[in-house]
Structure 1
Amino acid sequence: MKLILTFAALAATTTMAFAETHSVVRMGTEGAYPPYNFLDDSGEVAGFEREVGDEACARAGLTCEWVTTDWDSIIPNLTSGNYDTIIAGMSITDEREEVIDFTQNYFPPAASAYAAMAEDADIENGVVAAQANTIQAGHVAESGAALLEFATYDETVAALRSGEADAVFADKDALAPTVEASGGELMFVGDDVPLGDGIGIGLRESDTELREQFDVAIASMKEDGTLNELIVKWFGEDADTFE
């Protein structure tokens, strides 16, 4: 898509007073959804979103402080003030925008996919595992398949391997490393399914100025190619990027 930078003027109007009062921004993430976010060997948040968040904070004149939380409580913990943003592979949806606000997307709309242990796995009427409170779980619930929800992505894959589920449905970029590392045990089945409006940073509805700060930063990262470089670094040359 073509980028039209509508946020340039906002960079000049966002006040220094705001930057000072919000100099440290607590970035909430799951830390369990590679390559978007995960914990490295030292227990630090790493991955695509760590690099995106740190760069966005730097451009906005803010300091990131990373906080991990369980996925099923990630929105309530934001709205209750336990951190200031959600940057955790969260797709922008109308349902979520009834509760929180989002920046413009920092990752374009991407495909979701099914993975199974057999090519003839029944993804239409069988049992499909998905992480709870995701757009993938919502999609399965509306299909003819039986939804089996788990708190974490790793648990959905474990359910597939144990025979509890016939397939897993998840973001394809998250599934791809799992399928590749399985040595042929797991495979993609069926067609890819496009869902959501891309991935954005979630914020409380009252934090309009903070959202504007991040919108300006993300727009500049799109314009100079930084976001595309990070997408290719973490998801490969074939990943969808911003045009």
Structure 2
Amino acid sequence: MLYVIGIGPGSQATMTMEALDAINDAEVIVGYKTYTHLVKALTVGKEVIKTGMCKEIERCLAAIELAQTGKKVALISSGDAGIYGMAGLILELVTKQNLDVEVRLIPGMTASISAASLLGAPLMHDFCHISLSDLLTPWEVIEKRIIAAAQADFVICFYNPRSRGRADHLERAFELMKPFKAAATPVGVVKSASRKKQEKWITTLGDMDFEPVDMTSLVIVGNQSTYEQNGLMITPRGYEV
């Protein structure tokens, strides 16, 4: 059995019961070292295999090989394993090689949902996710998606918004949105959602400060109807209030 588990944004309180049960049932836990640390209290007495960044294929292959020996293996991802996580890669490897491995996908709370709950209700109408990491997607493609989403007036959730190697990507994304979104458009930022160093703040498209944003952050840019009131970011659904 190979469980592919989304452990949520960071705390045990935001994990699903199904995820907790799967981790409890597993004999071996495989994951990025930061994620294995987040579930450390749940892995006492279990074999834990952890790797660093950019080792996704190695992690998946290790989990598959262990599952093929008959062990119950849990491959963990933060958030939801099917949203920028390991679910797709595992299924690609298993199906393309026609491997005899039972895979069970366990959903989790993705970062946009966790961040939105802390900011108010910014995702009440149509929204999309865009990752600003160009490690696997050409930047030219990412730019086209940003422009299209802004033109369509989606609320936009930016994953992987800013890192040392991509210090200017978020600022460039905002420049691409400016012809289609007003400077007063509310923008919410949450860092380390559900973790010890959690921070959140609401600003605007025109006043955005990019420096505090990092890879643990989730940035939500509102649509033309989104507003901020009493410290809350709200996107109306259209009900008459």
> Which protein is richer in helix relative to its size?
1
Q: Which TM-score bucket, shorter chain as reference?
A: 0.3 to 0.5
Specify the structure having the higher radius of gyration (Cα).
2
Report the TM-score when normalising by structure 1: 0.34
Query: Which is bigger in relative contact order (C-alpha 8 A, separation at least 6)?
Result: 1
